[in-house]
Amino acid sequence: MKITWLGHDAFLFEGSAGIKLLTDPYVSGSYDGSVGYEEIKEVVDVVTTSHEQHPDHFDKTHFGKHPNLVRGAGERTVAGIPVKGISTYHDKSNGSERGTNTIFIFEIDGIRVCHCGDLGHLLSGQQYAEIGPVDVLMIPVGGYFTIDHKEAWEITKKIAPKIIIPVHYKTDVLGFPLDTVDVFLKGKKNTTMVEDVLELEKEQLPEPTQIVVFQKHRL
């Protein structure tokens, strides 16, 4: 499986059979230019969106090209990819501040990925059970609009993935008042830096857990 970071919470996953899945595509230039990542032009088979309230996670014009838009809770198989959505919130007030959020778990080439979207709170025991075993965890670490680096680490330790990919943090092209990824990384071991592409095979997933940081646009 190949993972390409496009920016913010948007990742492109490509399996060995050529199926492509895109998570949380942003609107380039939204929020008066604060979302400065390049326009997403990739044509894919599946798109997941953690929520539709904010254009840094939901580009409605993009979805016209992609019939397989996955939103909300539930289990389904889309273009041969098993996808599970788990209902959560974008804040600590049951959604009263920023609405709902969906965590997605999907499997490509035997690798289970958990994409947390704009998660805004710690998880319950039931939610951990629903998530189940995870190989690759994508979790927000920037705080302010989502969980912060401490909460992200608490969740990560309980999920115990093989690979942690921090997302939703301050970069050189993102104008939001978030922490940089270095706040999350401070004092942590087993960190690997890649430019913007990561290739994985199920049989070669690391032990112990590895943190992978995409270097493109890093401050």
CATH number at residue 160: 3.60.15.10
Convert 59-113 into a string of H (helix), E (strand) and C (coil).
Answer: CCCHHHHCCCEEECCEEEEECCEEEEEEEEECCCCCCCCCCEEEEEEEEECCEEE
pLDDT digit string, tens, across residues 103-122: 999 999 999 999 999 898 99
Q: Is the dihedral of CA 16, 62, 52, 143 positive or negative?
A: positive
Strand partners, 89: 100
Degrees, nearest 5: CA angle 135-141-143: 150
Is residue 75 within 8 Å of 84, Cβ to Cβ? yes
Answer yes or no: is 106 within a domain: yes
pTM: 0.93
**Number of domains within the chain:** 1
Distance between CA 4 and CA 18 in Å, rounded? 14
Instruction: Indicate the helix (H) or strand (E) that contains 129.
Output: helix 125-131
Answer yes or no: is 219 within a domain: no
Distance between CA 203 and CA 186 in Å, rounded? 29
Helix, coil or strand: residue 47: strand
pLDDT digit string, tens, across residues 126-137: 999 999 999 999
Is residue 130 within 8 Å of 86, Cβ to Cβ? yes
Residue 8's domain spans which residues?
2-214
Q: What is the CA radius of gyration of the chain?
A: 16
- Average pLDDT per consecutive 10 residues, the chain (219 residues; last block may be shorter): 92 95 87 84 89 66 68 94 93 70 96 94 96 97 92 97 95 90 94 94 94 84
Q: What is the pLDDT of residue 219?
A: 63
Please enumerate in sequence order all residues whose Cβ is within 8 A of that of 41, keeping only pairs 6 or more positions apart, or say none: none
Answer yes or no: is 81 within a domain: yes
Answer yes or no: is 136 within a domain: yes
